[in-house]
Amino acid sequence: MLTNSNTRILVLDDEPFMLKLLTRMLGNLGYVSVSSCDNGHDALLRVASTQDAPDLILLDINMPQMDGIEFVRHLVEHHFCGSLILISGEDVRILQSVEKLVRAHKITVLGHLSKPVTPERLSTLIELCVPPSQKMIKVAKKVYGQSALAAAIAHGELVNYYQPKVTVATGEVVGLETLVRWQHPQDGLVFPDQFIGLAEQYGLIDDLTRAVLSEALPQARTWQDAGLSLKLAVNLSMDNLVSLSFLDYVVDLTNQVGVPPQQLVLEVTESRLTQDQRVSLEILTRLRLKRFKLSIDDFGTGNSSLAQLRDIPFDELKIDQSFVHGAWDNDTQRAMFDASVGLARQLAMETVAEGVEDRADWNFLRQHDCDIAQGYFIARPMPAQDFPRWMADWEHRREHLM
Ligand code: C2E
Ligand code: CA
Ligand code: CA
């Protein structure tokens, strides 16, 4: 079904044959406001015009004078706020790189079309188009000051959400990851990308992590007492691992609360370069000796490298969501996914796939050798009190997923 037949579409391709073909295809699909250009300069004049500026451009990447990548740079200068569909006969990895580049310029890309173009694929992509006037205007994110964040931690405004992890083989719930949120009295629920980096910068990350742990461990104890055997994961910042007092804190707290160290998973990434790797290495190794579980988070991204895997005795490897979601449809991602799993196997580590967003991702995991899955498809992060209801629901759902 046509979402909006009046969507203004501009086709930009240097080959007259392609222009004709695409224009005809669009006409057949019911689009009535279609125009075409065979070079970037003319197309930019259209973009600059106030009357018939396009909502959507079908852009050929390979053009003799101004190529598609250069054209995109000019679109940015023109503050183009419509959408793009990329077209090329090039190999799909080049198309994907260009797509990334365009997104980095904050221009909406609906996807790419490899030649030969089919009407089905074309219409699927155009359906995704939202006219610029209906796009949500993004509000700049607020930057919180040091004293505000310090006060929030001190006044208990941080709350833990928990996201379940299940085994791929049976769907059994084996653990949860703690994800902190800030229940801000005016701004509502604030997500960690808005305050974790600041906490590190302001020297508040130790207080923050202690607040998270001091809520998470009693919660783990409550689940343990209810007869649930669940591992609870908590995210650490590398900055937590610069002083030995952190180690004592974790050990003392788990003892006090009565949670065995094997039940606590510490997820680590290297978001910032640490000054002294010897201290972090010592703390992690001693935590491991004391039977806490160590997990390397975001594996495969710049923050989690082979060098860390070589140096630190991790128990678990979390494959970053950028290699998981959509891997079923992307050869490059799949190669990296398989390589990560292979590496983990050789090092006798468990594997967790993050970012399992839909049924296709889940099916992909079922056909690949990965132990544990986590993602929106299974559950979104939730407050602890919602967990029993989700668990009952999941017991029904999981039967249909095996
Ligand atoms: P992370 O450790 O990689 O956590 C996974 C993030 O992906 C979470 O975002 C989670 O809500 C989100 N996620 C889960 N499933 C899916 C999915 O299927 N698709 C997509 N697109 N996303 C999914 P969140 O909660 O916003 O946390 C962001 C990051 O903040 C975390 O990334 C972690 O690095 C950091 N963080 C969260 N809590 C803490 C904490 O207590 N301490 C520290 N140091 N960092 C934390
Ligand atoms: Ca994590
Ligand atoms: Ca991650």
Strands 231-236 and 264-268: parallel
- Average model confidence (pLDDT) across the chain: 92
Q: Would the pLDDT of 88 be above 90?
A: no
Q: Would the pLDDT of 152 be above 50?
A: yes
Query: For ligand 1, is residue 356 a contact (CB within 6 Å)?
Result: yes
Task: Compute the distance between CA of residue 75 and CA of residue 69 in angstroms, rounded to an integer.
Answer: 10
Residue type at position 381: P
Residue bearing the bigger pLDDT, 303 or 136: 303
Which residue from 235, 267, 377 has its CB within 8 A of the most atoms of ligand 1, so it is best to mutate? Answer: 235
Lowest mean pLDDT among 1-5, 125-129, 397-401: 1-5
Domains along the chain? 8-134 (3.40.50.2300), 146-401 (3.20.20.450)
Q: How far is the CA of 179 from the centre of ligand 1 (A)?
A: 6
User: For residues 124, 125, 126 and 131, what is the CA-based torsion angle, rounded to 10 degrees?
Assistant: 130
Lowest mean pLDDT among 26-35, 260-269, 298-307: 298-307
Helices (H) and strands (E) counted in the chain, each on its own, are 15, 14
Query: For ligand 1, is residue 204 a contact (CB within 6 Å)?
Result: no
Task: Compute the distance between CA of residue 296 and CA of residue 267 in angstroms, rounded to an integer.
Answer: 6
Query: For ligand 1, is residue 202 a contact (CB within 6 Å)?
Result: no
User: In terms of Cα–Cα distance, which of 214, 97, 94 is closest to 154?
Assistant: 214
Query: In the prediction, which pLDDT does 311 show?
Result: 86
Alpha helices in 272-330 (DSSP H): 277-289, 306-311, 321-324
Task: Compute the distance between CA of residue 139 and CA of residue 183 in angstroms, rounded to an integer.
Answer: 19
Query: In the prediction, which pLDDT does 218 show?
Result: 98
Query: For ligand 1, is residue 297 a contact (CB within 6 Å)?
Result: yes
Q: Which ligand is nearest to the CA of 320?
A: 3
Q: Would the pLDDT of 1 be above 50?
A: no
Q: How distant, in Å, are the alpha carbons of 14, 264, 279 from that of 286? A: 63, 14, 11
| Residue 275 banded pLDDT, cuts 50, 70, 90 | low
Task: Compute the distance between CA of residue 12 and CA of residue 18 in angstroms, rounded to an integer.
Answer: 9
- Phi/psi at 110 (5° precision): -80, -20
Query: In the prediction, which pLDDT does 272 show?
Result: 57
CB atoms within 10 A of CB 72: 22
69 membership: H or E segment, kind and range: helix 68-77
Q: What pLDDT digit, counting tens, does each position of 50-66 carry?
A: 777 999 999 999 999 89
Q: What pLDDT digit, counting tens, does each position of 3-54 carry?
A: 578 889 999 999 999 999 999 999 999 999 999 999 999 999 999 987 779 9
Question: At which residue do the structure tokens 């999941």 appear?
Answer: 394
Q: Would the pLDDT of 337 be above 90?
A: yes
- Contact (Cβ atoms closer than 8 angstroms) between residue 188 and residue 394: no
Q: Would the pLDDT of 345 be above 80?
A: yes
Query: In the prediction, which pLDDT does 142 show?
Result: 87
- Phi/psi at 155 (5° precision): -90, 10
The residue ranges of DSSP E strands in 300-371, in sequence order, are 316-319, 350-353
Q: Would the pLDDT of 144 be above 70?
A: yes
The two structure tokens encoding residue 160: 């833990």
Q: Is 0.85 topped by the overall pTM? A: no
CB atoms within 10 A of CB 79: 8
Q: What number of residues does the chain have?
A: 402
